[in-house]
Amino acid sequence: MAPLRLPPRIYVPPPLTSAKPSAISSLTTQFLASSSPTITTTTDTTNLTTTPRAFTSTPATHLSSPRNRIYTSVRSADDFSSLLLLSTSSNQPLITLWTASWCPSCRFISPLLTQLIEAERAGESAADASSFGSPTSVAFAEVELDSPDIGEVAGRYAITSIPLLLAFSRGEAQVETRVGDVRKLKDAGFLREWIQREARRGGKGGAGGSLLGGLFGGR
């Protein structure tokens, strides 16, 4: 009897088992999380509204001494009254030089006074004992007696000769210290000391004296 021959055995692999959808989703998420690069973004602040920074500054240092003032020439009674009121309200003595266009000495004295008061700042000082603890300064203006609108101003202050230097403090004419001596008016040293004395009044008035005492040109 012939032996039984069996056909060759063929190996058939088992069917593939598919993963559950939830497992695939979990694996995909983990893969993407591990493989995704880290991206750093910068916020564009071009159009953002920001609160301004608060800066502090050191206050400006003010001068301890007020400035002298030079006013334009007085040609009317109203201008003179306004100037007196301004001098009184600011407690600043007003120095006036009474002049006329035909006065040759006035053309020398006026620039000299302007130089002393404006450039050299004669009369300006900080607070000290001599000024009773207050800073000092002066104002200066010419009074043109030959102006057609000056009116009765010259007669009010008994101005009978020119050039003449007369100070006002709190609106009061300082007749006792008026100067009509041309030699003194051309002396820069004398004028400098005179201006400083008048500045020390500090708008306090006083020492007005009598108009009759200086009727003929003063000192």
pLDDT digit string, tens, across residues 191-205: 999 999 999 886 565
Q: For residue 11, with 0-12 CB atoms within 10 Å meaning exposed, 13-18 middle and 19 or more buried, which class applies?
A: exposed
How far apart are the C-alpha atoms of 190 and 188, rounded to whole Å?
5
In CATH, what class is 70-214? alpha beta
Of the given ranges (72-81, 139-148, 176-185, 196-205), which has the lowest mean pLDDT? 196-205
Q: How confident is the model at residue 135 (pLDDT cuts 50, 70, 90)?
A: confident
Q: Which amino acid is at 191?
A: L
**Contact, 81 vs 192, CB < 8 A?**
no
Low-confidence winner among 8-17, 80-89, 110-119, 188-197 (lowest mean pLDDT):
8-17
Rounded-to-integer distance, Cα 206 and Cα 94, Å: 14
Give dist(CA 172, CA 155) in Å, integer.
15
Helix (H, G, I), strand (E, B) or coil at 155: helix
Residues in a beta bridge with 168: 94, 173
Domain assignments of the chain as residue spans, ordered by start: 70-214
